[in-house]
Structure 1
Amino acid sequence: MIRANVVLRRQTALKGERKKLMTAAVGIVLVCHIVLVYSWYTSEAIWKPLLLLPPRKIPKFWEAIFTIVVNDVMVRQAGMAVKCVLLLTCKSTRGRHFRKQGQLLTAVEYLLLLVRALIPGPVWYRFFLNKEYGNVFSSLTTGLYLTFKLTSVFSKVREFIGAVGLVTRCEVQYGSAASSDEVLAAGDMCAICQEKMHSPISLRCKHIFCEDCVSEWFERERTCPLCRAVVKFANFRSFADGRTSLLPQIF
């Protein structure tokens, strides 16, 4: 999975030089692995947390961990497969197509984070209902966990809605399209790529850059490349580089 994550980031960065065969191969391998794993554990119904269904019996601690980790890994791999499809279908061109691709990749990642936050809920809910530890302790831990989980899920829902909002909006979040007069006044030369402007974007500080160049810049930075003025365009992380969060979601 780590290797697939590296390949996806590399293919995303290649843009027009992207190797579609390699991208497709990664997606196919990921899907085959998911099918193989769930086929292997059919009798254990390990897939139930994906439908927010608790296990049939109260799991032991390590059984709960195993169930959650397996589903968490499979969901991440499914997300990577979806990203492979996006990279194969999105136009590998400059400007708005590149920006839209980044927004879609970001939306997919936030959907993954939301789903991964939901998966442990049914498993730990059933685990904490174990009456062997006493009714009071069981009720207390269950209530505390559900409170923590609902808070986390609501946060993930807000982030996902924000990411989807960026996809549906047409305007650039960190500026606006520059007019021909503004481009001429700026010299028609992008300070980032040192080439003629392509789909020029005027930031709020009035500096103008290629949309492609400045989109990549704002994947890492939050300030203008020239004057370092803070440009606020989103209050959450971008996953436009195609990466998938590898930090496991256990609770």
Structure 2
Amino acid sequence: MIKSNDILRKQTALKGERKISILVGIFIVFMLHVIGVYWWYRNDDLFYPLFMVPPKAIPPFWHAIFVIMVNDTMARQAAMALKCMLLMYYKNGRGHNFRRQGQMLTLVEYTLLLYRALLPTPVWYRFFLNKDYGSLFSSLTTGLYLTFKLTSVVDKVRSFVAALKALSRKEVHYGSYATSEQVNSAGDLCAICQEKMHAPILLRCKHIFCEDCVSEWFERERTCPLCRALIRPADLRSFGDGSTSLFFQLF
């Protein structure tokens, strides 16, 4: 999983030089693995939490952990397979398409984080709602868990909505497209790639760069590459580099 995450990030950074064979290979391996795991455990309770349905029987603690970890891993692999498809689709993207690629990758990741936050809920709901512990205790623990889970899910929903709004935003939120006069006065060479500008973007600090270059820059930075003026507010973390969160969502 870690190795695949690194490969995806490298392929994202390669842009037009991405190797389709590698992306197709990762996609096939992940999808076959996901299908194989759920086929192998087809008589188990793995399927129910995928649709937010509690398991039929109260799971023992370690079995609950097993179900959650398997579903969490499979969800991440399915999302990484989807990211492979996006990288293949945007292989030759420049400027606006590169920015849209980053927005799509970010939206996929925040959708995944929201779904993964919800995945353990039906399992732990069934586990805590165990009358063997006593009605009062089971009701109390279930209520506490759902309360804390609601707080976590609300944060994930806000991030998801912000990523969705960023995707629907057509304008460049860190500047505007420069006119030919502005480009001529500033010089037609991009300070980042040292080549003739393609789809030049005028930042709020009045510096101009290729949209492709500056979009990639703002995937990891918040300031202008030249004057270090703050351009992009610290609102939503971008996953435009193709990375996937690798921590387990156990609760």
Per the TM superposition, whether the score is higher than 0.5 is yes
Query: Aligned letter for 1:237?
Result: R
What secondary structure, in the 3-state scheme, does the structure 2 residue paired with 1:198 have? coil
> Aligned equivalents of 1:142 and 1:156: distance in 2?
21
Does the 8 Å contact 1:91/1:97 carry over to 2? no
- Quote how far apart the aligned CAs of 1:233 are: 4.8
The TM-score, its normalising length taken from structure 1, stands at 0.96
What does residue 117 of structure 2 align with?
117
Which residue of structure 2 lines up, in the alignment, with residue 210 of structure 1? 210
Q: Which residue of 1 aligns with 2:127?
A: 127
Counterpart AA for 2:175: G
CA displacement at 1:232 relative to structure 2: 2.7
Aligned to 1:41: 41
Letter in 2 for 1:2: I
1:181 aligns with 2:166: no
- TM-score for both structures, normalised by structure 2: 0.96
CA distance in 2, matches of 1:50, 1:199: 43
Give the percent of matched residue pairs that are identical in Structure 1 and Structure 2: 64
For 1:15, the equivalent position in structure 2 comes to: 15
In the TM superposition, residue 234 of structure 1 has moved relative to its aligned partner by 5.8
- Deviation, structure 1 residue 218: 0.9
Runs of 4+ in 1 over 4 A off after TM superposition: none
State how far apart, in whole Å, the 2-side matches of 1:211 and 1:234 are.
Answer: 20
Residue pair 2:72, 2:119 contacting (<8 A) in 1 also = yes
Q: Give 5+ residue unaligned stretches, structure 1.
A: none
| Distance across 1 between alignment mates of 2:98 and 2:57 | 48
Report the counterpart of residue 51 of structure 2 in structure 1: 51
| Contact map agreement 1:173 1:233 (CA 8 A) in 2 | no
| Matching residue of 1:164 | 164
Where 2:126 maps in the other structure, the secondary structure is helix
Cα distance, 1:240 vs. partner? Answer: 0.6
Figure out how many residues of one structure are paired with residues of the other and give that number: 251
- How many Å apart are 1:48 and its aligned residue? 1.0
Task: Report the Cα offset of residue 91 of structure 1.
Answer: 4.4
How far apart are the structure 2 equivalents of 1:93 and 1:83? 15
Conserved in 2, the CA contact under 8 Å of 1:173 and 1:234? no
Mapped partners of 2:186, 2:244: distance in 1 = 38
The CA deviation at 1:64 is 0.8
How large is the RMSD of aligned CA atoms in angstroms? 1.2
Cα separation, partners in 2 of 1:170 and 1:91, compared to 1, 3 Å: farther
The Cα of 1:62 is off from its aligned counterpart by 0.8
Give 3-state SS (helix, strand or coil) of 2:225's partner: coil
> In the aligned structure 1, how far is the partner of 2:181 from the partner of 2:114?
44
Residue 98 of structure 2 is matched in structure 1 by 98
